[in-house]
Amino acid sequence: MPTKPEELRSHRWFGSNDFTGFSHRSRMKQMGHRLEDFSGKPVIAIVNTWSEINPCHQHLRERAEAVKRGVWQAGGFPVEVPALSITETYMRPSPMLYRNLLAMETEELLRGLPIDGAVLLGGCDKTTPGLLMGAISMNIPAIYMPAGPMLRGNWNGQFLGSGTDLRKYWAELCAGTISEQEWRAIEDGIARSPGFCMTMGTASTMTAMAESLGMTLPGASSIPAVDSNHPRLAVNSGARIVEMVWEDLRPSTILNRAAFENAITVDMAIGGSTNAIIHLVALAGRCGLKLELPAFEQISERVPVLANIRPSGAYLMEDFYYAGGLRALMSQIRDLLHLDSITVNGRTLGENIADAKPINPDVIRPRANPLSRTGGTAILFGNLAPDGAVIKTSAADPRLLQHTGPAVVFRNYQDLEERINREDLNATPDSVLVLQNAGPLGGPGMPEWGMLPIPQKLLKQGVRDMVRISDARMSGTAYGACVLHVAPESYVGGPLAFVREGDMISLDLKNRRLDLLISEEEMNRRRAAWKKPAPRYLRGYGALYLERVTQANVGCDFDFLEDGAPTPEPEIH
């Protein structure tokens, strides 16, 4: 624990009376800072993923200023450090391709610069795990400060939810039940303030994970981006991180197995995005912890879904905040949480939720009236997914959860786009739609294609859900009987690659199985005949990604970034 200014990490840059110290101090003075502003004070990086092309983070410049106020007031020295702004809306081929790049960038920024502590500003899906993974690996005091959800969408007197209602009304447009004009009006009203998607998508799920892991101030993940409590949260985060530096409260003290079990428990109770599974496994990996997929299943079985938020439920994140937010939700599952887990404010999770209670029991349901009696996520194994697959049962038509049907196979996304709406597509409501080559390497970047569109001819017959299987991910705002994250993926020769048109596939939720109903001999014949596809990238970051990314069941991190030998502190010359 640093008790004197000379023990701060930044002192190595600013404190020496030699050529190097002179250079570092003079350059701070070049920026107009007085010696007493930065010397001997905790230097706090505000790692900011603001960008003009990230609508979810458009307010983060202002929030960085609020964080700075808190840092100054607490006796620290703030420096805003920009980092890769992974925007879910625009980044292609898949934002997930870049999560590990942001994690690397965050880690190296914190290591390479004279930084004593960090406030991490993010929120749009991959930014939360990316920033946290980097901060965990660097392991200096860090607080996560979520960007907050945007306000509810509004159209024609109805509330609209990001992603969820886009998909719903797209299906209605395709089915001819809403007009082109109505579709345009929905476009005008669905996103009307700064902040991230306000359904229980990946962004809201992952910020809830950050809070339940203990990495945000209490209540932080539920505050809407434009609520005046949000800049106050920023000031508080700035003030608190300075104290954390003096207390030497690091991610390694906060993030133990119990913290991850709390996060999984909350993930189930909020009906969280399936993406959380991959990110939590990767985050735990950075801490040297192994989270196996069955751990999610075991916790899922004892945790009810209490957050009545789309896509599993009816409301939106703004309603969730007014109903008491995540602290109120956690108060309903106290007995299922490790209440003695320490959090960034230095208090335990139990202390942080001691006075919390739900205000609206329809939005945050009581235990006696859950949305679903068990968590919204199930893990499947079987000959089609030897290393596991995931399904969000709370967002699926229950009658499809025990289903056997013939496969309609798409070799890749292009094939899907070309054929899905053709009248001669051999699909019935009982068919199982299969998408290959959409995994971590095959996508590449495991795009959110897992909610395969329902063929238009079936939409017109009134079909709104079918069993769909892929090695892709699915947006947290999406829904349907979609089996995701099939591992190993088809691109590396997982059994999903061997499915042929008309093969019978069995989804058996009761026994948590996913099977291709062919003999073992036939499976082996197809395996022997399989040819590895050509790599998608031969140079640059893409080539590094293809070479070192791991499979979905182990978190899609780079193998060389998982916990390992400590990286040495830089030498200062």
* Footprint on this chain of ligand FES (rule: CB under 6 A): 56, 88-89, 124-125, 162, 196-197, 201, 203
Report the amino acid identity of residue 503. Answer: D
Least separation, in Å, of the C-beta of 202 and ligand FES?
Answer: 7
Beta-sheet strand order (sheet of 43-48): 77-82, 43-48, 117-122, 142-146
Least separation, in Å, of the C-beta of 450 and ligand FES?
Answer: 16
Report the amino acid identity of residue 141. Answer: P
| Closer by beta carbon to ligand FES, 82 or else 361 | 82
Least separation, in Å, of the C-beta of 323 and ligand FES?
Answer: 21
Distance CA 420, CA 435 (A): 11
Least separation, in Å, of the C-beta of 184 and ligand FES?
Answer: 20
Among the listed residues 291, 233, 302, the one whose alpha carbon sits nearest the alpha carbon of residue 265: 302
| Closer by beta carbon to ligand FES, 86 or else 336 | 86
Least separation, in Å, of the C-beta of 389 and ligand FES?
Answer: 24
Q: Is the peptide bond before 311 cis (omega within 30 degrees of 0)?
A: yes
Q: Is the peptide bond before 488 cis (omega within 30 degrees of 0)?
A: yes
| Closer by beta carbon to ligand FES, 125 or else 515 | 125
SS3 letters across 425-479: CCCCCCCEEEECCCCCCCCCCCCCCCCCCCCHHHHHCCCCCCEEEECCCCCCCCC
* Residue whose pair of structure tokens reads 């697959």 in the numeric block: 389
| Closer by beta carbon to ligand FES, 41 or else 167 | 167
> Looking at 34-73, which runs of residues are DSSP E strands?
43-48
Report the amino acid identity of residue 359. Answer: I
| Cα dihedral 157→162→163→166 (10° resolution) | 30
Q: Is the peptide bond before 440 cis (omega within 30 degrees of 0)?
A: no
Are 443 and 435 spatial neighbours (Cβ–Cβ below 8 Å)?
A: no
3-state secondary structure of 410: strand
* Residue whose pair of structure tokens reads 């081929």 in the numeric block: 93
| Closer by beta carbon to ligand FES, 87 or else 100 | 87
3-state secondary structure of 386: strand
Are 205 and 272 spatial neighbours (Cβ–Cβ below 8 Å)?
A: yes
Are 560 and 551 spatial neighbours (Cβ–Cβ below 8 Å)?
A: no
Dihedral (CA of 330, 336, 339, 344) sign: negative
| Closer by beta carbon to ligand FES, 125 or else 471 | 125
Are 142 and 118 spatial neighbours (Cβ–Cβ below 8 Å)?
A: yes
Dihedral (CA of 536, 537, 542, 543) sign: positive
Least separation, in Å, of the C-beta of 362 and ligand FES?
Answer: 25
Q: Please give the C-alpha separations between residue 144 and each of 128, 236, 370, in angstroms, as whole numbers.
A: 8, 12, 30
Least separation, in Å, of the C-beta of 165 and ligand FES?
Answer: 13
Radius of gyration of the chain (CA): 24
Structure tokens at 480: 């349907």
Q: For residue 266, list its beta bridge partners.
A: none
> Cα–chain-centroid distance for residue 146?
12
Report the amino acid identity of residue 272. Answer: G
Least separation, in Å, of the C-beta of 552 and ligand FES?
Answer: 20
Least separation, in Å, of the C-beta of 103 and ligand FES?
Answer: 18
Least separation, in Å, of the C-beta of 5 and ligand FES?
Answer: 40
Least separation, in Å, of the C-beta of 537 and ligand FES?
Answer: 25
Among the listed residues 30, 245, 215, the one whose alpha carbon sits nearest the alpha carbon of residue 122: 215
| Closer by beta carbon to ligand FES, 205 or else 553 | 205
Q: How far apart are the first and last CA of the chain?
A: 25
Least separation, in Å, of the C-beta of 191 and ligand FES?
Answer: 9
| Closer by beta carbon to ligand FES, 164 or else 236 | 164
| Closer by beta carbon to ligand FES, 107 or else 125 | 125
Distance CA 451, CA 431 (A): 15
| Closer by beta carbon to ligand FES, 57 or else 111 | 57
Among the listed residues 200, 198, 218, the one whose alpha carbon sits nearest the alpha carbon of residue 149: 198
Among the listed residues 160, 148, 226, the one whose alpha carbon sits nearest the alpha carbon of residue 190: 160
